[in-house]
Amino acid sequence: MKKIIISPLNWGLGHATRCVPVINALIENGFTPIIASDGSALQFLQKEFPSLERIVLPSYNISYAKNVKFNLILKLPKILKAVKKERNIIENYIIKNNDVIGIISDNRFGVRSNKVPSVYITHQLKVLAGWSTFFITKIHQKIINQFDECWIPDDKKFNFSGVLSIGKLKINKKYLGVLSRFQLKKTQKVIDVLVILSGVEPQRTLLEEKLVQEFKNSQKKVVFVAGKIEQQQKISIINRIRYYNFMLSNELENTINQSKLVICRSGYSSVMDLVILQKKVFFIPTKHQNEQEYLARYLSEKKYAPFCKEQNFSVEKLQELTNYLGLFLEKKVFDKELFCLFECK
């Protein structure tokens, strides 16, 4: 058995969802993925892959605040403690399981080992953080250089991540292409507006409340997917809006394919999903989240999709979509040659 530990950061669901195609590719190529994470990310992947072994890691407890950078600085001692603890958990697991041949970490700093090849997945070679961008980027690149390779989930030609994926590393960096768990399907468009909520609290709930208020009197067919991973799926009707607490990959894939347009945050994993599904989308970036604010502006400047601040959104703004191309790119097959790193060493 050739085990590979795959470990996404638990900050929203984006890191976990973009690990789905990587896990599927591992299975298709004869590897046995071991899922390592915490919180909602771990719960989501457990539901997607119920038969896979899992490792519970300590939480970084990252949350949004008015000043994200200051909040992260305050939590830095706890984050470093969690990183050290997860490093020990991974090392102990590898010692007890000599069939582990590799590690794939999606933005988890401590999930690596000198005993097996370790890969770091990120599109953030440059971390946008206002005045501290230079220093935080240097720190992040120093962390990345402790791994054997860096895999960048983007298309080198189209570069949907903009300046985020530009940077020099000492280790090999390889482009994965646009990474999504979804497939484009030709289907009838029966949903007028699909709202996909995501991210950490309280920002997720604030956007939900704003959009429910905006669409409560709409005559359109509107569907909300709340992005709240719970034990059971719940479906309800609120002010004529069809409301799901969450959807797993297959159902969400079908729902997006059936939608005329999407409203969501401008998180990078959402961007990749909608690129593959070739959707018209209106972005509402999370306030004080520099990466989402940058991506929304960048994709708007390239005439892919419009955006606005949460407090400025109204149903009328959806008319702006007629002036934009929408996101699009054909999905490529996952390059199995990437896995040579684990078997050739």
The CATH code of the domain at 191-323 is: 3.40.50.2000
CATH classification (class only), 3-178+332-343: alpha beta
- CB atoms under 10 Å from CB of 191, counted, come to 19
Four-point Cα dihedral 93, 98, 99, 105, nearest 10: 40
Among residues 49, 45, 48, which one has the least CA distance to residue 10?
45
- Retrieve residue 115's tokens: 């005993």
77 upstream amide cis, omega within 30 of 0:
no
Is beta strand 235-238 parallel, antiparallel or unpaired with respect to 241-244?
antiparallel
Question: What DSSP state is assigned to residue 110?
Answer: T
Burial class from Cβ neighbours inside 10 Å (0-12, 13-18, 19+) for residue 185 reads: exposed
What SS3 state is found at 315?
Answer: helix
Q: Confirm if 161 and 154 have CB atoms less than 8 A apart.
A: yes
- Type of residue found at 298: Y
Per-residue pLDDT of the chain (345 residues; tens, 9 = 90+): 899 999 999 987 889 999 999 999 999 999 999 999 999 899 999 999 999 999 999 988 765 555 555 555 666 778 889 899 999 999 999 999 999 999 999 999 999 999 999 999 999 999 888 878 888 899 999 999 999 999 999 988 889 999 999 888 988 899 999 989 999 999 999 999 999 998 778 889 999 999 999 998 899 999 999 988 888 999 999 878 999 999 988 999 999 999 999 999 999 999 999 999 999 999 999 988 889 999 999 999 999 999 999 999 999 999 999 999 999 988 777 888 899 999 865
Phi/psi class of residue 319: alpha, beta or left (left: φ > 0; alpha: ψ in -120 to 50)? alpha
Q: Any idea where the domains of the chain sit in the sequence?
A: 3-178+332-343, 191-323
Q: In what order do the strands lie in the sheet with 32-37?
A: 54-56, 32-37, 3-8, 100-106, 118-121, 149-152, 172-175
Helix (H) or strand (E) holding 104: strand 100-106
Integer Cα distance of 109 and 191 in angstroms: 40
Whether 3-178+332-343 shares its CATH topology with 191-323 is answered yes
